[in-house]
Amino acid sequence: VGAGFAAELPKLEQKAKYKVGFAQTESNNPWRIAQTESMKAEAEKLGYQLVYTDAAGSAAKQVADVNSMIAQKVDLIFLAPREEKPLIPAVMAAKKAGIPVILLDRNVDQKLAQAGKDYVTFIGSDFVDEGRRAAEWLIGATNGKAKIIQLEGTTGSSPANDRRKGFEEALKSHPGMEIVASQSGDFARDKGRQVAETLLQAHPDATAIYAHNDEMAMGAIAAIEAAGKVPGKDIVLVSIDGTRDALQAIIDGKLGATVECNPRFGPKAFATMAAYAKGEKIPAWVKNDDKFFDASNAREEIANAY
């Protein structure tokens, strides 16, 4: 902490129009595209100027993107931090420049930065609970007996850390549920397919796959089929997000279930910003509620999917 560093969270002036930054982490999956569309649509509705950047999967670029927003003197920065630790300097630089930050959908390391002190709040889902709900579904679907391959999200990201934690904790009281392999597929379809292919070869006795997002589950389905096995029968799959492709895979009997992680942040993000400008007390965590999709509701829910 250098001399002159503000200990206080920067305030936000009440104005009719704002210039707001949104630092996105990547755009390689439908979830990210839906989140960006929701943020852009809400900014447009309000008549605000949105400075949008896409870090293309690089935490270093995302730090540079935030620094560029600071140089452009935006009023507030919405940040979807790719990983928990590398984005801390960006949060601190914005604070030092007197620009409030709201974290969207992913969190930063709580030992290094805190809501209400270094950034305004974290708006997003309970990732630990998502992992727990995925585990509970899988325990039921396999009668408590499965050899599981876990496809993890981006290493060092809060959803990967927490979805793993929630899932593994829920399995502890079920000795028949064994994780035989766990590896990152970086939340990407292609990487998920490649990793699933390798792990299915190394563990031909695997009976289930838990993917930290739907894109990796879609990749895993392709890998299972390429291995001459039947997804949904030989290998049971569960994942997280609730994309259109995932709901279609549930309808087709290939994916068992997906825990929703809602990407439509726009209205809540800008409403939280307005409340902060008014001087209202913002909770450290503005929580999103998530639904659950399986064979019982996929047909009716697919109409709303992205």
Closer residue to ligand AHR (CB): 70 or 286 = 286
In the bound complex, what is the minimum distance in angstroms from residue 169's beta carbon to ligand AHR? 19
What are the φ/ψ torsions at residue 140 (nearest 5 degrees)?
-65, -45
Identify residue 189 by its one-letter amino acid code. Answer: R
In the bound complex, what is the minimum distance in angstroms from residue 157's beta carbon to ligand AHR? 7
In the bound complex, what is the minimum distance in angstroms from residue 163's beta carbon to ligand AHR? 8
What is the C-alpha separation between 107 and 109, in angstroms, rounded?
7
Closer residue to ligand AHR (CB): 129 or 178 = 129
Closer residue to ligand AHR (CB): 85 or 174 = 85
Burial status of residue 288 (CB atoms within 10 A of its CB: 0-12, 13-18, 19 or more) = middle
Closer residue to ligand AHR (CB): 26 or 75 = 26
DSSP E strand boundaries for 45-186: 49-54, 76-79, 101-104, 121-124, 146-152, 177-184
Select from 78, 187, 210, 293 the one that contacts ligand AHR (CB under 6 A): 187
Distance of CA 207 to the CA centre of its chain: 26
What is the C-alpha separation between 73 and 75, in angstroms, rounded?
6
In the bound complex, what is the minimum distance in angstroms from residue 139's beta carbon to ligand AHR? 21
Closer residue to ligand AHR (CB): 34 or 120 = 34
For residue 171, what are its two tokens?
Answer: 């399995």
Closer residue to ligand AHR (CB): 32 or 95 = 32
Within positions 22 to 81, which residues make up the interface with ligand AHR, using CB under 6 A?
Answer: 29, 31-32
Long-range contacts of 6-12 (CB under 8 A, 24+ apart): 6/95, 6/96, 6/98, 7/117, 9/95, 9/100, 9/116, 9/117, 9/118, 9/119, 9/120, 10/94, 10/95, 10/97, 10/98, 10/99, 10/100, 11/100, 12/75, 12/76, 12/100, 12/273, 12/276, 12/277
Q: How many other β-carbons are positioned within 10 Å of the β-carbon of residue 4?
A: 6
Within positions 97 to 126, which residues make up the interface with ligand AHR, using CB under 6 A?
Answer: 105-106
Asked if 254 is part of the footprint of ligand AHR (rule: CB under 6 A), the reply reads no
**CA dihedral over 150, 151, 155, 156, signed as positive or negative:** negative
Binding track over 129-168 against ligand AHR, x by CB under 6 A: ------------------------------x---------
In the bound complex, what is the minimum distance in angstroms from residue 240's beta carbon to ligand AHR? 6
Within positions 256 to 295, which residues make up the interface with ligand AHR, using CB under 6 A?
Answer: 261
Closer residue to ligand AHR (CB): 54 or 75 = 54
Closer residue to ligand AHR (CB): 94 or 261 = 261
DSSP state of 303: G
Tell me, by CB under 6 A, how many residues bind ligand AHR: 11
For residue 48, what are its two tokens?
Answer: 């605000």
In the bound complex, what is the minimum distance in angstroms from residue 143's beta carbon to ligand AHR? 28
DSSP state of 304: G
In the bound complex, what is the minimum distance in angstroms from residue 278's beta carbon to ligand AHR? 28
Closer residue to ligand AHR (CB): 9 or 151 = 151
Burial status of residue 304 (CB atoms within 10 A of its CB: 0-12, 13-18, 19 or more) = exposed
Within positions 206 to 245, which residues make up the interface with ligand AHR, using CB under 6 A?
Answer: 213, 240-241
Residues lying near ligand AHR in the complex (CB under 6 A) are found at 29, 31-32, 105-106, 159, 187, 213, 240-241, 261
